[in-house]
Structure 1
Amino acid sequence: MEPLRGRSEELGRLLEGLRAAEAGTASLAVVTGEPGLGKSALVAAAVEQAERQGFLVALATAQQTDDISPLSSLAPALRAGREPLIDTEHFMELATLNTQPLWLAERVADLVGRRLDGTKALIVLDDAQWSDPLSAFALRVMVARLSGHQLLWLVATRPAPGGVVDQIVNAVRAQVPVHAIELAPLTADAIQDIAKDRLNGPVEPGLARQLADVQGSPFLAEQLIAGLYLDAPGPGQGGDGPGSNGGRLGGAGPSGGGLAPVGPLLAAGLPAGPLAPGLVEGVRRRSSGLSEAARTLVRTAAVFGSEFRLEDVAALMAEPVAKLATALDEAIQAGLLVDAGSALRFQHELLRSATLADVPPSAQRALHGAIATQLIAAGRGAAVAAPHVLAVAQPGDTAAVGTLRQAAQELLATMSTTAAEVIQHAFDLTGVDDPLRAEVGVDVVAVLLTAYQYDRAKAFADDLLSGTALYHGPVTPDLRASIRLLLAPRQWVAGRLERQDLFAPGAAPHLTERLTAYRALLSPDEVPPADLLARMTDPVARAIVLAAAGETARAEGRYAAARDFYVEARQTAPDLGSLPNTRLEVGELYCRAEADELLDALTRSRELMTAGDWQSAAHLSVLHARLELAAGNLEAAEEEARTGLRWMNEFHDTRLAPGMHQVLALIALLRNHPTKARELTGADPTINTLLAIADGDDKAVARLRDVPQGFPERIDLLVRADAEDLLAAQVAASPSTAALGAHELVAAGNDLERLAAATEQLRTTDRPLLRALAEDRYGRAELESGDRATGVATLERALESLTTLGATAPAARIQAVLQAAGVRRRRWAAVPARAEAGWEALTPMERRVALLVAEGHTNRSAAEELVVSASTVGTHLRSVFGKLEVNSRVQLTRLVLERFAPHPNA
């Protein structure tokens, strides 16, 4: 490989990224530059260096037409080489997830992460501005998920503010360092050096003067040196080949000009920005030596786009494919086209743009129209024809609108982001007072919602219905109701449903019923579901009311009844306004778990985590984390909670984050990590109460009586609070085994027989933490009664279970009881090493003393509160001073107040 001229600093920064990756620090490098400045040459140099250093290299180049096929941009990097990042079997499985981008991205990240364990790697995506949406999203997830690997991500792109690459950078900069490398035009000296390298000698003065006009572009310099601006080259003289210098752009990476608002799919066949002086003339000179058939082939191909099929061009030219073989060979030998096997493409987008500039606009329009007609007639689909339809469509062209609507529907299942751009263009082609505009507007709202662009869909819908410049036609009651019903399901899931949006006087009866049903879902007190069920005749409306009844029953703790409502609601076939099935099943599974079906619910939730509606991912994640916690799977619950928080940040919707923080805080407390729990609590009163209990505040136990119905592991907390009346209410609402056993455990008091029966009942549940809590109570009671054998055996069973689960905090408390009872073991595995300093170093009694002193107690009053002697309090206080490194009560009080200060957002 010839030296890379003028880019030593940029290459050095990439090499630093490789060294950091080898040392274990993953990062993302973004190379940005205009066409022809040598982005791909710089990438190639980095790849060569990485391979020399033993890196696994995975390389892909995005294509301008990638928007039509999901994951097409990234797939070559995943599948290249003898030992690809993802093997064939697993890659084929990914096809089933094309409609679930979140699950697919997570699966890709998981597979690649396993492959790269212990392996240093460079993963490259060139021409990233053309990435299909699914590849771009998968890349965002992968960079964040694999931040702990020996990995450098390298992305090369054209400048596109707010485009694909900017979105990736903004999404991952908190997880990995980002190296922005912007390529400026090469210096005159670097351009001269390229010429010397290619000519193997000095540069003649005439050529040197011409090189001064290439505007620092290594690509244009290469072409000039190869004779592009001079004489037509002979065979093999085309520029940008495998041995070219700074302008070598890889051949396999078509690019295109601007058009960011239109999108890559819609830019096919359109020219790039302003061309360098002389480039068009140079292409004319190069083409002048071609036969008429070859020139026609090249010009026709330029209208098709950067990538095309020979058979399509042949059909348009009404020539047999075999007859064009010679013409194609001429174009390839002239350095204009490249045969990539399955398709043909221009050697560089600048060459296509220069060729296209020589095709009169009227001819371009005629060719675009003919291409669109041909592609549709050949059964290639409206999505493939869409770019050409857009190139010739005029406002009011109903045929073009119809084609684009069909294209949007073809793309919707797998490429919803692209579908959103297509349907928006269809809408723009209709007149502001054309009734068809309203019909297409409904499509726009539906597609935007499917593409998870709620804010854009809501703003569009409001404009459409409010008589703005967007639409001047009649807003019928049915139009208003239809759009409101399109929005309502997602608004409900996202907690954004507003009562005023649920009216459309004069709409069709079935639409009116559905809007009324949503009002019952939003405000069950105002519109009682029970009163509506008997009156609803529309199946969708009835399903919504059933869901409302389920939500009400669940909030009241009537889990069995709520489960049945959700099940019945899910039996209705989907239609306009239908609630997302996955969201209904989330409610059902939560209720099943609370109604003695925990393990079945957990199994189903695991299935939904890779097969459910990805737009309900946040609700699914909260459910799954809760069920894993209830089943005692602390590691799985923690992992799921953190994954869910990452997804919420990804979609900028943290409304359900408190539920995740509750799960994480409970796990931290079970593991004896109160500081970590405190970092997660925010203004959550229940978690703050649990922390107070962990810190020795017995009075805080009473506050657990106010634990909300939906708090994770509420029954366990009510047992700890001895809330017999609340447990009785729970039994009355939903008499599950867990609720019955928990109520009896608290109601038994010191009655050993009842305690034994309650403990035995709870042993039949699938909740190991609750079982251990019961055995702890029963074992302590037996010890206090004098039955050492039963008490020790029961407590040891609880200790073993908690130790296995990793719940070291309750395990340590049980161990302390056993040790006080004289039980001896060669090794006590459950007790975590106590910190030597800081709050975690304090014993429970020392924490209680610290809290009392901070409240203003003297040693004597604190002793009375704790029922110990004042000298004992003094001993504990001196130990507190030492561990917290304070010298006075004032300092201690300040430290405690800082620790227990309300959250700034409380």
Structure 2
Amino acid sequence: MARTVLRGRATAMSSALSVVRRTEQDGRSGIVVLTGEAGIGKTAVLDELIAQARTRGFASGAGKADESGQISPGAPLLVALRSGASPLIASDALAELQRSVDQPLQLLDQVSTHLEKLACASPVIFAIDDAQWADRLTRFVVRALPARLAGSPIVWVVAGRDAAGGLVSDLSRTEIPSVRMEFIHLGPLDAHDVGALAQDLLGGAPSEKVRGMLNGVGGNPFLVTQILDGLAKARTRGEPEDQVPTEFVFATRRKLLGLGAGERQLVQTAAVFGQPFAVDDATALLAEHPAAHVWAWAELAVESGLLAARDHRLSFRHDLVRETVYADLTDNARRALHKRCAEHLMATGHGPLSTAPHARASATPGDLASARILTQAADAAVAAMPHTAGDLALQAFQLLRPAQPAWLTVGEHCVDILSRVQRCAEAVTVADTLLAWSDDPAATARIQVLAARALWLMGRLADSLTRIDTALSQPGLPPALRSWLASSRALALTRTAPPDIARQAAQPALAEARLTGDREAITVALQALGEAAKNSGHHAESLAHFRALRTTAGHTHLAQEILALQLLDRFAEAETILSAAHADARNQVEAILPSVLYAQLWQEFSLGRLDDADSTAQTLIALSEELGNHTHGLQAVMITSSVALLRGDIAEARNRLAPALTHADADDEVRLPGLHLLQGWISAAEGHLDQAMSVLSPALYQAKESPTYWPWWPGWMRGFTRFGLAAGDLGFAEHAVTLAEEGAARNPGVASFEGIALQLRGTLRQDLTLLRRATEVLAHSPRPALRASGYEDYGRALLTAGQRKEGVANLDLAWDINYQVGARGSVLSLQDVMRRAGFRRSKWINDLERPRTGRAALSEAERKVAQLISAGQTNQAAARTLGLSPNTVGTHLRSIFAKLDVHSRVQLANVWNDRTATERMPELGAARRRL
């Protein structure tokens, strides 16, 4: 039979190959998305695209999702990395990746590192077929990879049916700067292409009868090929054309019925099993028959054309064939076969995740065995596929009926899982259903506290407290459960009540928890005490509680411990823990990394490393989007806005803050305190002092009652004091100074708190002695912004007192610190003050804005990254050299691309090296002249 030629797809191939050629030429990533109905030829185009890319020197990997494998996390992704004669990764590397499937961020980092390294050696084409069935982990990683590797020569190809959801939809909603997406929709073949395909396969023009059959399949290439394959086989066997089956549309059922009973049973079992399987699996699934018979049936099924044998495994020639066989089964037959598949998978150690699709399909109302498998699968899926875990838990609960003894237990477990994966409204609905039937006080209390946790995450804090109080009112609760409820109530109060009230609730809760020995209750109570102490500004006490919490709960709350150290000016210890946490993050990436990055962000911002802070904030925002958990991301948005303010770019500060103003995925208690403070700061910087005071006044006067710790963060009160004095509101300024002094009293020996208190009291009184003492104390603070503010306020006061020389000397010290950290706004303000005092310095900068594009726009950190990447280093290698995370290097790299208007690592290297050579020409010329 003649070789099949890809017909009718010249336009599609041209569009797809343009992406391959561009990636080959300029090293820029590209994305090709192929869509179309089943059998329309997506796989054929994908295969041809990969084949042509390989002839151009591309390394390749291709994976295929399948319907029953949606619950197997990351399977198509891992298959793609290990497919073909020259796999993208070695088998030992694959084993390492497989161990990371329950830690999405770690898996994403590892795959990104592997592909980036490969792409440094040769361009890569990476494909996922049947993407409509890709599991959530695969979707997460494949959606995130193109942005992370935008500057690497990788072509991403995704093929899938037209669908509203899934990976195709994910990519269609994604915009990645500098990465071109080519969306290609495949429609039916026209009559000319169908005729050409018939000519290819038959070696001559088709008869009128065959043309009639071909006209009946709507130009679907798979169906056309099925007819022509059947016709070719019939001719080989000497059969007449009018007996040729139409192989799919007209005769799949007839072909199945033409098999013997054994072969038919094997094919039907294969359709239900849903994925390629070895004949040994078939013999186990058909254990009532001799193994020799099953092997013989497998050979006959392959000969029939319904099944194909590939890599020692049986599979259907096309998903449409499997779907047709599956659809022809009766409901009872289908359920019975699914039950047999579930039993086989469990017996052979495949685990609940692999078994769950069959358990779900075989289940009938009241099926406890299936419900238990689904519940176990939900537990296994929580980390890697939280949404899937929620679906499985709900399905398990919905199988059972209130009269069954296990209904309440399974339901409680369902509420727990739904709240853990933040499907909180559904968790509350299931909880209320359970509560309507429950007469067990202990079960009722447990369900109420689980519902309270969900309400807490939803931001319905008052409702959450009401649930806990309702549970506590139940008589006869076990002591351990009562202590857990009391601890949960105390923790809720840390976000809804003044710190003293939360502390008063947390102390007896901890004592009760220790008496009962309940670890969960002890953990929650210690967390409540740590939060309450932090919110009241007692940071040493907060640190003690969080350190005790580490011995109970491990590293889950490590970020709070680091934050407490930072608030106590113990940044060296915080840095040590941060370094250890990054090293350990390979073990608990999803649980630890976002919070560690948040702690690192404050470390960098507080120490004046503004470029690093800005980059880490962008990384954290991206991770928050990837994970769908926006709390840390919103805080990072506020930091990027603050960095812009310090750099003197007020318009940019307001633009950066905009996402936090409208974000609906975090409750107001998370967003509003910092948001209001930053809005006031921006308004004051814009010259709208009245507007700033109207925003800041409620925050200041209610600060001591605030269920957050912002009043006890060093530095805030200086701004309040300055705003109050500028507005002529001495009462406002006095209130801010009093709070600063209370902060110092609560944190004795902490230079940042003590120095700020002296500085602000001295500013209010214009007391030069206090202001000088403040500079001496603040000299021991690790926070450069505070040291600079001390010198500035002392210098201004000295100028006012007529001591011009001493005043300018202190302002000079403030200028140096602000210049070193890149606080351009403060630098220009200080220059203005000194200029009006009659002084000028040769070191001063002009008041032009920092360029937004070009080499001059790069920060020092970006220059270092550009240098290393241009020298051929990977993100991972550059990260090791600079002591950064690969994520941070990637964030720098995206910023570099935008500023230099390049789109790939190759273009960056060309631009950077050309410019570097140009800059060195005068030096080289001078050297030659000296010779």
TM-score for the superposition, normalised by structure 2: 0.72
Matched AA of 1:482: R
The match for 1:554 among 528, 531, 534 is 534
TM-aligned CA deviation for residue 446 of structure 1: 2.6
Q: Which residue of 2 aligns with 1:500?
A: 466
* 8 Å Cα contact 1:106/1:141 also seen in 2: no
Q: 1:118 to 1:634 in 2, by over 3 A?
A: farther
Q: Deviations over 1:99-124 (max 9, x none)?
A: 33245435644664576579865432
TM-aligned CA deviation for residue 517 of structure 1: 3.2
Q: Give the SS at the match of 2:205.
A: coil
Q: Which residue of 1 aligns with 2:561?
A: 588
CA distance in 1, matches of 2:595, 2:372: 37
TM-aligned CA deviation for residue 156 of structure 1: 1.2
Q: Which residue of 1 aligns with 2:200?
A: 197
2:746 paired with 1:718: no
2:410 paired with 1:440: yes
Q: 1:400 to 1:507 in 2, by over 3 A?
A: farther
2:848 paired with 1:833: yes
2:743 paired with 1:730: yes
Q: Which residue of 1 aligns with 2:638?
A: 662
Q: Give the SS at the match of 2:33.
A: strand
TM-aligned CA deviation for residue 40 of structure 1: 0.8
Moved more, 638-647 or 214-223: 638-647
2:292 paired with 1:277: no
TM-aligned CA deviation for residue 126 of structure 1: 0.7
Q: Give the SS at the match of 1:665.
A: helix
Q: Give the SS at the match of 2:76.
A: coil
Matched AA of 1:7: R
Q: Deviations over 1:101-155 (max 9, x none)?
A: 2454356446645765798654321111222221111122224444566655332
TM-aligned CA deviation for residue 307 of structure 1: 1.6
CA distance in 1, matches of 2:127, 2:851: 48
Q: Give the SS at the match of 1:125.
A: strand
Q: 1:362 to 1:462 in 2, by over 3 A?
A: closer
Q: 1:396 to 1:212 in 2, by over 3 A?
A: same
Q: Which residue of 1 aligns with 2:275?
A: 306
* 8 Å Cα contact 1:226/1:233 also seen in 2: no
The match for 1:678 among 654, 657, 671 is 654
Q: Deviations over 1:309-336 (max 9, x none)?
A: 2222123445787886676556556544
Q: 1:328 to 1:81 in 2, by over 3 A?
A: closer
Q: Which residue of 2 aligns with 1:741?
A: 755
For 1:248-287, list aligned pairs within 5 A.
276-282=249-255
CA distance in 2, matches of 1:372, 1:586: 43
Q: Give the SS at the match of 1:185.
A: coil
CA distance in 2, matches of 1:84, 1:599: 45
CA distance in 1, matches of 2:266, 2:534: 68
The match for 1:600 among 573, 589, 613 is 573
CA distance in 2, matches of 1:81, 1:438: 49
The match for 1:565 among 534, 538, 545 is 545
TM-aligned CA deviation for residue 376 of structure 1: 3.1
CA distance in 2, matches of 1:457, 1:588: 31
2:486 paired with 1:519: no
CA distance in 2, matches of 1:405, 1:89: 32
Q: Which residue of 2 aligns with 1:238?
A: none
Q: 1:377 to 1:425 in 2, by over 3 A?
A: same
The match for 1:59 among 45, 59, 62 is 62
Q: Deviations over 1:852-895 (max 9, x none)?
A: xxxxxxxxxxxxxxxxxxxxxxxxxxxxxxxxxxxxxxxxxxxx
Report sequence identity in percent. 30
* 8 Å Cα contact 1:731/1:743 also seen in 2: yes
Matched AA of 2:282: V
Matched AA of 2:848: A
Q: How many residues get paired?
A: 780
TM-aligned CA deviation for residue 69 of structure 1: 3.7
Q: 1:697 to 1:85 in 2, by over 3 A?
A: farther
Q: Which residue of 1 aligns with 2:214?
A: 211
Q: Give the SS at the match of 2:219.
A: coil
The match for 1:139 among 139, 142, 153 is 142
Q: Which residue of 2 aligns with 1:258?
A: none
TM-aligned CA deviation for residue 460 of structure 1: 3.0
Q: 1:718 to 1:367 in 2, by over 3 A?
A: closer
CA distance in 1, matches of 2:833, 2:90: 54
Root mean square deviation of aligned Cα: 4.5
Q: Which residue of 2 aligns with 1:485?
A: 449
CA distance in 1, matches of 2:88, 2:458: 36
Matched AA of 1:562: S
Q: 1:323 to 1:447 in 2, by over 3 A?
A: same
Q: Give the SS at the match of 2:34.
A: strand
Matched AA of 1:590: L
CA distance in 1, matches of 2:83, 2:793: 60
Q: Give the SS at the match of 2:715.
A: helix
Q: 1:630 to 1:349 in 2, by over 3 A?
A: same
The match for 1:465 among 435, 457, 462 is 435
Q: 1:93 to 1:776 in 2, by over 3 A?
A: farther
CA distance in 2, matches of 1:698, 1:358: 75
For 1:687-706, list aligned pairs within 5 A.
687-695=678-686
Q: Give the SS at the match of 2:613.
A: helix
TM-score for the superposition, normalised by structure 1: 0.74
CA distance in 1, matches of 2:607, 2:110: 24
* 8 Å Cα contact 1:626/1:712 also seen in 2: no
Q: Which residue of 2 aligns with 1:894?
A: none
2:787 paired with 1:771: yes
Q: 1:324 to 1:521 in 2, by over 3 A?
A: closer
* 8 Å Cα contact 1:39/1:183 also seen in 2: yes
CA distance in 2, matches of 1:26, 1:282: 46
TM-aligned CA deviation for residue 72 of structure 1: 1.8
CA distance in 2, matches of 1:41, 1:145: 29
CA distance in 2, matches of 1:218, 1:622: 53
TM-aligned CA deviation for residue 687 of structure 1: 2.8
Q: Deviations over 1:433-478 (max 9, x none)?
A: 3232222212222333344433333333334434xxxxxx545333
CA distance in 2, matches of 1:441, 1:585: 32
Q: 1:14 to 1:322 in 2, by over 3 A?
A: same
The match for 2:821 among 805, 828, 847 is 805
Q: 1:334 to 1:803 in 2, by over 3 A?
A: farther
2:139 paired with 1:125: no
Q: Give the SS at the match of 2:62.
A: strand
CA distance in 1, matches of 2:747, 2:71: 51
Q: Give the SS at the match of 1:557.
A: coil
CA distance in 2, matches of 1:391, 1:696: 65
Q: Give the SS at the match of 1:226.
A: helix
Give the structure with the higher percent helix.
2
Q: Give the SS at the match of 1:74.
A: helix
Q: 1:448 to 1:382 in 2, by over 3 A?
A: same
Return 5+ residue gaps in structure 1 as ranges.
235-246, 248-273, 467-472, 575-580, 838-906
Matched AA of 2:745: A
CA distance in 2, matches of 1:367, 1:71: 26
CA distance in 1, matches of 2:379, 2:294: 35
Q: Which residue of 2 aligns with 1:153?
A: 156
CA distance in 1, matches of 2:102, 2:9: 42
Q: 1:73 to 1:724 in 2, by over 3 A?
A: same
* 8 Å Cα contact 1:57/1:123 also seen in 2: yes
CA distance in 1, matches of 2:586, 2:564: 21
CA distance in 1, matches of 2:506, 2:394: 42
* 8 Å Cα contact 2:16/2:49 also seen in 1: yes
Matched AA of 1:636: D
Q: 1:26 to 1:376 in 2, by over 3 A?
A: closer
Moved more, 222-231 or 707-716: 707-716
